[in-house]
Amino acid sequence: MYTLYYSPGTASMVVHLALLEIVAPHRLELVDFTTQAQRSPRYLELNPQGRVPTLIVDGRPVSESAALLMLLAERHPEAKLAPAAGTPQRAAWYQWIVYLANTLMPAYRLWFYPPDASGAEEHPPAVRAAIQARIEGAFDLLEAHLSANGPYMLGEFSGVDLLLTMLMRWSRNMPRPATQWPALKRLADEVRARPSWKKLYEIEGLTEW
């Protein structure tokens, strides 16, 4: 039995999706951001960074959404969230997960949380434009890859597609959302049609794509 500490629509989303895909027994613990529950002493004991997700695995807390996705895929190979170990596709799977975690996720954090970067409530226009260009540059690269190899990142569905679709969702209110790239939109539509995505929306009470 896993326990996932989550907040709706945040980085915990990909872990929740993975749990639903593998049909693993789990329970959910809401971390209510409106009450700053992520800063509570109890939660900080589990996750000193005060972020979600945290997953209790064999009685121990583990964090970082991309790492948790990889861990769950490896613990539940029957769900086929990852290609077979030792194959070229498995190498590509690692590559894309790390790329998304190292490129898009930090850029989003700069975009949505200016005080984390500069202490200011908002970035100067030039800085904000540079962050937007970084995010859109990643979308350009992903679009080119999907156009040549899609509809999924590895040709067939895997956990990478869950992670990427979550990150595309975060762009929905940006000046140029990810769905304006045709191949990215096709991938998002495929993932959003999956039972796990629909079930997560029902459980987490999400409405906006």
Domain count, the chain: 2
Q: For residues 97 and 30, state if they share a domain.
A: no
Tens of pLDDT, residue by residue over 91-107, are 999 999 999 999 999 99
pLDDT of residue 108: 96
pLDDT of residue 119: 65
pLDDT of residue 182: 98
Tens of pLDDT, residue by residue over 128-162, are 999 999 999 999 999 999 999 999 999 999 999 99
Q: For residues 43 and 137, state if they share a domain.
A: no
Q: For residues 109 and 155, state if they share a domain.
A: yes
pLDDT of residue 118: 61
pLDDT of residue 117: 61
pTM (whole model) above 0.85:
yes
Q: Within 10 Å of residue 15's Cβ, how many Cβ atoms?
A: 31
Residue 35 inside a domain? The answer is yes
CATH of the domain at 70: 3.40.30.10
Q: Which of these three, 80, 109, 131, is where a domain ends?
A: 80
Q: Which residues contact 53 (CB under 8 A, 6 or more apart)?
A: 4, 5, 6, 10, 11, 12, 15, 16, 63, 65, 68
Domain range enclosing 185: 88-194
Distance of CA 67 to the CA centre of its chain: 11
Q: Which of these three, 50, 80, 110, is where a domain ends?
A: 80
Whole-number mean pLDDT of the chain? Answer: 96
